[in-house]
Amino acid sequence: MIGEALSPLVDLIYPPRCPLCGEGMAAQKGLCAKCWSELVIPGSPACTACQRPFPPESGLEDALCAPCIANPPKHDGIAAATLYNDASRRLVLSYKHGRRIALADMLSKLMLARLPELEGEWLVMPVPLHRWRIWRRGFNQSALLARAIAKARNYQLCVDGLERHRQTPILGGLGKKARARALSGAIRINHRRGDQIKGAQIILVDDVMTSGATTHACVSVLKRAGAEKVRIVCFARVLDEALNY
């Protein structure tokens, strides 16, 4: 109520602008109409295991995509708010490297819109960052998104269930095998959360899912620790082939 009462004053001092293009807006939340239209939301039909979109004309229903057939996933589903393109990339860069942490509210709402209603109790957990990267950046962007999602769904939050105890190089530009080598042994369970993870249904939160190497490493560790289910939710997913659908 206090925030709503002060919003006219805030708008007077800081006129609302679109966080992507800078155009004036009526309110402090969201994007302008043009920038909203530039985001690409994954559609259907899609793979029943990983939600990778199929071409609309494919006529595929209740089918698996080729990668899931070749290598059945350990996770229990992926929900992506957007497909990674120029608009989503600029949002992520502004949020993560521009330190505009207020964007976490909008990004998490887009993620929640794609995350189905789930039965039972769920534990929300972010993909971990190494402590030195958190120190340099000042925050774990996935943890802020996880907190917002847990609050919105009234799920339990566990920000330190996973640990990245060894620094890993930037994975961009590395091939699949190189990514796997870089992540090998880098992520582990926080032993203080072992009992909480065993038998739990977990929502694993990440900002961007590129090749899936990091999230899949997290899923493997969680499943070995006894997690019953692990669903992945991210803001942007890199699927270049699906951008043309």
Reported as a pLDDT band with limits 50, 70 and 90, residue 123 is very high
Q: Domain locations in the chain?
A: 1-38, 40-244
- Beta carbons of 224 and 196 less than 8 angstroms apart: no
Q: What average pLDDT does the structure give for the chain? A: 88
* Residue 8 predicted with pLDDT over 50: no
Per-residue pLDDT averaged across 94-105, rounded?
90
* Residue 2 predicted with pLDDT over 50: no
Tens of pLDDT, residue by residue over 211-223, are: 888 999 999 999 9
Reported as a pLDDT band with limits 50, 70 and 90, residue 3 is very low
Written out in words, the top-level CATH class of the domain with range 40-244 is alpha beta
Reported as a pLDDT band with limits 50, 70 and 90, residue 12 is very low
The predicted structure's pLDDT at residue 166 = 83
Reported as a pLDDT band with limits 50, 70 and 90, residue 174 is low
Cα-based distances in Å from 116 to 77, 80, 138, 230: 10, 11, 31, 14
Q: What's the whole-model pTM score?
A: 0.89
Reported as a pLDDT band with limits 50, 70 and 90, residue 156 is very high
